[in-house]
């Protein structure tokens, strides 16, 4: 009777299950929102690091704006948004998997082991998937940016001319 009225009997927990649709929507939304906010700041950082002399941030922002208006602050981001959403989806899936399925695996029952294994899994997958996107984005914003028509073109040309190690240079 209590369950029918919406009152849970003692000892029963309300466990929410993993929803792929909610995961994908929230992951891509988070990726787009963070990219819209942080990409211009990251672009500014990259330009300041590539500058041979000490330059004020406001001067670099003016130069970027002169190149193509507000659109120039987001050059190469569509591919990054899509891949960021994919990576965030995978992260959330792995987190949910380790959270809800850990009781089935003896090694993952211990919270420390679960955190260690999930962190290593998530970090490895994120690094492998996002490194080429980061390299292409940095190349697009650097001096050789005019050689590419966009992020996908940059990744393809990096693979063609320099091989796999060019996009995963941090690993080799």
Is 14 within the bounds of a domain?
no
Query: What number is the average pLDDT over the span 145-168?
Result: 76
Is 9 within the bounds of a domain?
no
Helices and strands per DSSP (H, E), number in the chain: 6, 0
Instruction: Name the pLDDT band for 12 (thresholds 50, 70, 90).
Output: very low
CA–CA dist 54, 73 (Å, integer):
21
Instruction: Name the pLDDT band for 114 (thresholds 50, 70, 90).
Output: confident
> Domains in the chain: how many in total?
1
Is 56 within the bounds of a domain?
yes
Please tell me what DSSP assigns to residue 2: T
User: What CATH number is attached to the domain comprising 125?
Assistant: 1.50.40.10
Is 88 within the bounds of a domain?
yes
Q: Answer whether 0.75 is exceeded by the pTM.
A: no
Task: Check residue 9 and give its pLDDT.
Answer: 47
E-assigned strand segments in 5-114: none
Task: Check residue 11 and give its pLDDT.
Answer: 46
Q: What is the domain range of residue 34?
A: 20-171
Task: Check residue 62 and give its pLDDT.
Answer: 92
CA–CA dist 130, 42 (Å, integer):
15
Residue pair 158/167 in contact (Cβ under 8 Å)? The answer is yes
Residue pair 136/162 in contact (Cβ under 8 Å)? The answer is no
Task: Check residue 16 and give its pLDDT.
Answer: 59
């Amino acid at each position: 009777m209590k369950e029918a009225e919406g009152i849970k009997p003692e000892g029963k927990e309300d466990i929410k299950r993993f929803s792929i649709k909610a995961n994908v929507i929230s992951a891509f939304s988070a990726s787009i929102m963070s990219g819209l906010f942080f990409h211009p700041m990251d672009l500014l950082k990259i330009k300041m690091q590539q500058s041979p002399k000490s330059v004020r941030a406001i001067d670099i922002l003016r130069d970027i704006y002169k190149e193509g208006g507000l659109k120039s602050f987001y050059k190469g981001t569509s591919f990054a948004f899509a891949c960021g959403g994919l990576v965030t989806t995978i992260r959330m899936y792995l987190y949910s998997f380790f959270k809800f399925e850990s009781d089935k695996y003896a090694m993952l029952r211990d919270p420390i082991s679960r955190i260690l294994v999930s962190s290593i899994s998530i970090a490895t997958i994120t690094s492998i998937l996002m490194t080429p996107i980061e390299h292409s984005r940095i190349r697009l914003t650097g001096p050789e940016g005019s050689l590419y028509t966009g992020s996908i073109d940059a990744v393809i040309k990096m693979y063609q001319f320099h091989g796999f190690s060019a996009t995963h240079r941090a690993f080799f």
